[in-house]
């Protein structure tokens, strides 16, 4: 890691350089925050984890900008022992900036717009908000600088209990999180925290993020193919070979699921 930081080429805008990935990560976190703010102001519902955090903010009276880092730090303490690879600059940027930026963009929105709820207006906010959110998540993940602790839960469960696949664990995780959010807001859906957008993002965010990976984020970072496939190949290539009793060699196969 130190050699990467001290490499002068990493501080240029060459493809997949550290500087380029940091810029894309920052832009991604900002765009994620814009998407969340738009969905909240349009009462369209946000992604499951944000809904959970908003629920905690609503019940406790603590600002969302403060709830985000507190909950993420507590979650990081729990998840990190199972998967140290999730932690990085992107993790820190995520839980220090998103809460602040969401509150800022919501205030900015209210300064310019007054939204009187209607189904049509909600759907427009949903379309724009989800598009921004998924694009931001795609950029933030493709930058490969660490992820939110919440995103490390399903992969950790898959490794410890491989009977089920990543998608199964992630869907169950999101459904439980949505239920907890509903309980926290006392099933008051008029708040716009849990809504149509929550269900859509809970089930289809992976599809949308993959689309943005291929069409936008890979080009911004300067890579080809899937970032997780590249990581798996890199890990396999760097893993030492083990001796076999028959004189041959074997390598442990691993996979990383997006």
What are the mean pLDDT values of the chain's consecutive 10-residue runs (258 residues total)? 69 88 96 96 94 95 94 92 86 92 96 92 96 94 90 83 84 92 94 92 85 93 70 45 38 32
pLDDT on residue 10: 85
Among 225, 232, 209, residue whose Cα is nearest residue 85: 232
183 found inside a domain: yes
pLDDT on residue 153: 87
Pairing of strands 249-250, 242-243: antiparallel
pLDDT on residue 16: 86
Residue whose tokens read 């664990």: 169
Domain count, the chain: 1
Among 119, 121, 148, residue whose Cα is nearest residue 33: 148
3 found inside a domain: no
81 found inside a domain: yes
pLDDT on residue 97: 94
Among 103, 88, 87, 86, residue whose Cα is nearest residue 50: 103
233 found inside a domain: no
Residue whose tokens read 């193919």: 225
96 found inside a domain: yes
In angstroms, the CA 40 to CA 72 distance is 20
234 found inside a domain: no
* Residue-range definition of the domain harbouring residue 183: 14-227
The enclosing H or E element of 142 equals: helix 119-142
Please calculate the CA angle 211-34-221 and round it to the nearest 5 degrees. Answer: 45
Among 41, 56, 68, 3, residue whose Cα is nearest residue 129: 41
- The DSSP 8-state label assigned to residue 157 in this structure reads H
pLDDT on residue 229: 52
pLDDT on residue 85: 82
121 found inside a domain: yes
Query: Cβ distance 217 to 23 under 8 Å?
Result: no
180 found inside a domain: yes
The enclosing H or E element of 249 equals: strand 249-250
Residue 27 in tokens = 């832009």
């Amino acid at each position: 890691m130190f050699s990467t930081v001290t490499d002068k080429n990493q501080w240029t805008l060459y493809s997949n350089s550290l500087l380029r990935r940091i810029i894309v990560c920052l832009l991604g976190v900002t765009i994620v925050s814009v998407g969340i703010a738009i969905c909240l102001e349009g009462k369209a519902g946000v992604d499951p984890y944000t809904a959970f955090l908003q629920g905690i903010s609503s019940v406790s009276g603590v600002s969302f900008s403060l709830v985000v880092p507190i909950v993420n730090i507590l979650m990081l303490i729990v998840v990190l022992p199972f998967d140290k690879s999730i932690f990085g600059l992107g993790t820190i940027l995520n839980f220090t900036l998103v809460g602040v930026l969401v509150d800022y963009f919501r205030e900015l929105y209210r300064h310019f717009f007054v939204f009187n709820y209607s189904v049509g207006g909600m759907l427009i906010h949903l379309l724009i908000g989800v598009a921004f959110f998924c694009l931001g998540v795609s950029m933030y993940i493709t930058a490969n600088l660490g992820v939110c602790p919440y995103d490390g839960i399903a992969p950790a469960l898959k490794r410890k209990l491989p009977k089920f696949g990543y998608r199964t664990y992630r869907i169950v995780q999101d459904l439980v999180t949505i239920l907890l959010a509903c309980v926290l807001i006392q099933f008051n859906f008029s708040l716009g925290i849990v809504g149509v957008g929550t269900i859509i993002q809970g089930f289809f965010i992976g599809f949308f993020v993959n689309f943005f990976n291929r069409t936008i984020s890979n080009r911004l970072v300067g890579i080809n193919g899937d970032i997780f496939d590249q990581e798996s190949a890199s890990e396999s290539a760097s893993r030492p070979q083990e001796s076999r009793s028959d004189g041959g060699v074997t390598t442990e196969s691993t996979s990383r699921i997006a």
